Amino acid sequence: MLGGMSSLDSNPAGFQLDGVPSVFARVVVDDFGSRVFDYSVPKGVVVQVGARVRVPVRTRNVLGTVLELSNSTEVSGVRPIASVMSGEPALNPALLKLAAWMADYYCCPLEAAIRSVLPQVIRKSEMTHQERQVVRLIQVPSEEGRLALQSRAPLQAAALAALEQAGTPLPVTELTKLSDATHAVVRALERKGWVAVEMERMERDPFRKEHFVEDQNLTLNPEQTIAFARVCATLEPLQEGSPVPKPFLLHGVTGSGKTEIYLQAIQRVLEQGRTAIMLVPEISLTPQTVERFRSRFAASRHEVAVLHSHLSEGERHDEWHRIRSGRARIVIGARSAVFAPVENLGLIVVDEEHEPSYKQEEAPRYHGRDIAVLRAHLERCSVLLGSATPSLESFHNVSIGKYELLEIASRVDDKRLPYIRIIDMRMESRNPVISGKLLTAIEARLKKREQTILFLNRRGFSTSMLCEKCGYVCECPNCSISLTFHRGANRIVCHICGHLAVAPSKCPECKDPGIRQKGTGTERVEDVVQKIFKTAVVRRMDADVMQRKEAFRETLSAFKAGKIDILVGTQMIAKGLHFPNVTLVGIINADLGLHMPDFRAGERTFQLLTQVAGRAGRGDVEGEVFVQSYTPFSPAIQFSRHHDFTGFWEQEIEFRKQWEYPPFTHLILIQVRSVHQARAEFSIQTLARRLGENLPPEVVLSEPAPAPLEKSHGQFRFHLMLRTKAILRLSRYVRGVLDKMTFPEDVIVTVDVDAYHLL
């Protein structure tokens, strides 16, 4: 029999087992959506709120999470919990509240929210810690005994000397390498009472191969000092009843030393015995951030833990438990690190808070920045959002008094911002990949042994293959986009669904051999640059070549060491990276994202151009940026040219206000998709009609329409957009309507609250 379903409200007059007061646990079961079931806690078993448990469901035991404990239940026939997975609860009260809020706000099942908060390797509870044998020195023989041992058993003497020199216990395998001792030698020393062989937990450290040199705090300039002092004023633990400090928005130009403020603020938090979380938008930024943090906190290296999706399951398991146990008090990672199980949280830092990559693309579709702000409120601690190009949402929160603004208008050591030149590609003859002016600038940097970054946010060699005779374009059979040509593999690839095929040598339609490659990707840029500058070391960083786990770190380390002259890449090299010898940045095509059917297109273009430009001139030599564009007079390009965030904000916010787009409203994007076009279209029309029946009056409901990317992964996609100022009310309304509707089995409906991508 299935455990009884109940609400989360206890009922003192409820059911009791055998007339004796008992303890009941309300459990949300994995893969059962938001359904909560009651189970009894067996006598002598200790269960805490947030614990992972195995519970019976029909004929099998499944995993679940304890939401609440009660002395009563409203249902009969309650079955007991089968087992408790660990002594410590996996989720603390703040994280449980966070998961419940996410389920309510982002219109998703509670179980899905908990799935985001707890890593899969922790939810499965199948992996254990690795252990190894270590040898610990207990007693050192006298000088006379040492000489005697040296003559009778030289290998034993060598093993003792190696242990004494190390000063710490050594793994058996390492000791045998250092002293040529065998396992028999170690056992002989153990029998004599000179050493002890013990089992030691061996942690899988993702940065175990890295060596960090201790670093010291840098001297803050006046602007940094003012910002740091204001943050520090809110870092003291709050008294009961004291208001939670407002979130800080640190708006500092690229190279203004925001990271130094993060480091010193986190150091202040550690001195108070508290913990900190540092979020970065891209996994590619994590190695450099970890290096800087571990160098600064080298004396306590193991205080820094890392959480992101490129960790192995073992590494994620060990890092999570290191955080949970309190041994790691600083957590660095991408958006999911906001759920790190730290206790006594003192500060959350969100670097590059404007980045769209903080938005989760699977249910629950949360935004890491917003969850950081909410968690800081629940844990009554400070949160610091940093960016050179803040999101319009965050800057709007400053303008209405919800956030406090801290500004740094100049670079450290009064270094000048890079000079930005706009190149009108309409004036370039023969439509080259790289303009003559940019080529000349690259050549000048190579002669000076300075480094160059070339940015293009598009992978592959050519963006399409086109027959100039009949007009045939190689298109993806599953998605409504053209296939991208990758010359290295001689394949045409879909960057949406991954479909690939051999590149045709002639037109598949008319058989004309004159099929051409059109457009430019990073692979082509790398090829062109390498052919022109034959002696230069050119490397590429994009998703095609960064597939190995260590590829990010190795390439960035080589670039930092000066082993790479020209680095070509996509947005993974666009922000947060600090390389003092980079004096030139070339933006190959600034128009790529500018004409997308998305109201955020201008904002994203401005942010991306400003961030990429900020990689130049961070050392002693002034930087220069070349921006190639076919629409050079676009406001996003012109404002980025002058590093004018305020000017861009003023014109863009008027557009948003006029059309009631975020941040003046919240947006819910509902997508209906199916392999059958007619079913998807009928379903979204039916859903729109149901939503419109009792729609709150302040909600603006758009007409259902095909998505801009009409077909993806073989499914036809239709969109429906709702806008409102009362988002929680609308989320609950949408959830209620969907719960009452039944869709065909092949129709999938997704709800994206505060959607960031409208394609």
Model confidence pLDDT, tens digit, residues 593-624: 888 888 999 999 999 999 888 888 887 888 99
How far is residue 472's CA from residue 251's CA, in Å, rounded to a whole number?
49
Are the folds of 222-412 and 415-458+520-655 the same?
Answer: yes
- CATH architecture of residue range(s) 222-412: 3-Layer(aba) Sandwich (3.40)
- Calpha distance 269→275 (Å, rounded): 7
Token code pair at residue 716? 């036809």
DSSP for 333-398, written as a single string: ESGGGGG---SSEEEEEEETTT-GGGB-SSSS--BHHHHHHHHHHHTT-EEEEEESS--HHHHHHH
Share of the chain above pLDDT 70, in %: 93
pLDDT, mean of residues 669-682: 96
Report the 10 Å Cβ neighbour count for 13. 7
* Highest mean pLDDT pick, 121-135, 510-524, 682-696: 682-696
The ranges assigned to domains in the chain are 4-124, 130-202, 222-412, 415-458+520-655, 666-753
- pLDDT, residue 667, reads 95
Distances (CA, A) of 397 to 123, 354, 374, 381, 740: 36, 13, 14, 19, 36
* Residue 666 clears pLDDT 50, i.e. is over it: yes
650 burial (CB, 10 Å; 0-12 / 13-18 / 19+) is: exposed
pLDDT given at position 206: 61
- Would you give the DSSP letter of residue 507? -
Q: Say how many Å lie between the first and final Cα of the chain, rounded.
A: 45
Residue 42 CA to residue 82 CA, distance in Å, equals: 9
Q: What is the pTM of this model?
A: 0.85
Residues in the chain: 759
What SS3 state is found at 55? strand
Q: Which CATH architecture has domain 4-124?
A: 3-Layer(aba) Sandwich (3.40)
* Residue 582 Cα distances to 47, 445, 621, 622, angstroms: 56, 9, 9, 9
pLDDT at position 60 is 87
**Is residue 13 pLDDT above 60, yes or no?**
no
How many C-alpha atoms does 85 have within 13 Å on its Cβ side? 23
For residue 35, what is the enclosing H or E element?
none
**Average pLDDT, integer, range 633-638:** 93
Rounded to an integer, what distance in angstroms lies between the CA atom of residue 637 and that of residue 627?
9
Most confident of 135-149, 266-280, 288-302: 266-280
Cis-peptide, bond into residue 477, ω within 30° of zero: no
CA within 13 Å, CB half, 68: 16
- Contact yes or no for 469/514 (Cβ under 8 A): yes
The yes-or-no verdict on residue 205 having pLDDT over 80 is: no
Residue 207 has pLDDT above 70, yes or no: no
| Helices assigned H by DSSP within 204-358 | 222-232, 258-271, 286-296, 313-324
The pLDDT assigned to 157 comes to 81
Q: How confident is the model at residue 17 (pLDDT cuts 50, 70, 90)?
A: very low
What pLDDT sits at residue 4? Answer: 45
* Res 202: pLDDT: 60
Angle between helix 93-105 and 110-117 (nearest 10): 130
Structure token digits, residue 350:
């969100």
Query: Which of the residue ranges 161-165, 401-405, 449-453 would you say has the lowest mean pLDDT?
Result: 161-165
Specify whether the CB–CB gap between 756 and 600 falls below 8 A: yes
Q: What is the pLDDT of residue 141?
A: 76
> Which H or E element spans position 612?
helix 601-613
Give the pLDDT confidence score for residue 706 in this predicted structure: 95
Per-residue pLDDT, averaged over 524-544, amounts to 93
The least confident of 13-17, 23-27, 533-537, 583-587 is: 13-17
* 3-class state of residue 457 by DSSP: coil
Which CATH class for the 666-753 domain? alpha beta
Q: What is the mean pLDDT of the chain?
A: 87
Bond into 206 cis (ω within 30): no
**Binning pLDDT at 50, 70 and 90, where does residue 18 land?**
very low
Rounded-to-integer distance, Cα 452 and Cα 529, Å: 11
CB 539 within 8 A of CB 557: no
Which residues lie across from 625 on neighbouring strands?
420, 585
Residue 155 is predicted with a pLDDT of 84
Region of residue 362 (left: phi > 0; alpha: psi -120 to 50; beta: else) = beta
For residues 486 and 461, what is the distance between their CA atoms, to the nearest angstrom?
5
What is the distance between the alpha carbons of residues 97 and 67, in angstroms, rounded to a whole number?
Answer: 10
Mean pLDDT of 663-691: 96
Structure confidence at residue 126 (pLDDT): 57
For range 113-125, the mean pLDDT? 85
Three-state DSSP string of 432-444: CCCCHHHHHHHHH
The mean pLDDT value for 531-547 works out to 90
Question: In the structure, what pLDDT confidence band is assigned to residue 316 with cuts at 50, 70 and 90?
Answer: confident
For the cut 90, the answer to whether the pLDDT of residue 6 exceeds it is no
* Among 361, 319, 363, 366, CA closest to 340: 319
- Confidence check: pLDDT of 87 > 70: no
CATH superfamily for domain 415-458+520-655: P-loop containing nucleotide triphosphate hydrolases (3.40.50.300)
Q: Cα 118 from chain centroid?
A: 15
Q: How confident is the model at residue 441 (pLDDT cuts 50, 70, 90)?
A: very high
pLDDT at residue 321, as a whole number: 84
Helix (H, G, I), strand (E, B) or coil at 291: helix
Say what the pLDDT of residue 317 is. Answer: 80
Q: What is the pLDDT of residues 329-363, one digit of tens each?
A: 999 999 999 999 999 999 999 999 999 999 999 88
pLDDT at residue 650, as a whole number = 95
pLDDT at 554 exceeding the cut of 90: no
User: What's the count of helices (H) and strands (E) in the chain, helices before strands?
Assistant: 21, 32
**What is the number of other CB atoms lying within 10 angstroms of the CB of residue 197?**
15
Estimate to the nearest angstrom the gap between the alpha carbon of 387 and the chain centroid.
16
Highest mean pLDDT among 299-308, 539-548, 740-749: 740-749
Residue appearing with tokens 């706000």:
105
Band of the pLDDT at 191, cuts 50, 70, 90?
confident
Span 322-328, average pLDDT: 88
**pLDDT at position 658, please?**
93
Residue 437, judged by CB atoms within 10 A of its CB (0-12, 13-18, 19+), counts as: middle
Say how many C-beta atoms besides its own lie within 10 A of residue 575's C-beta. Answer: 27
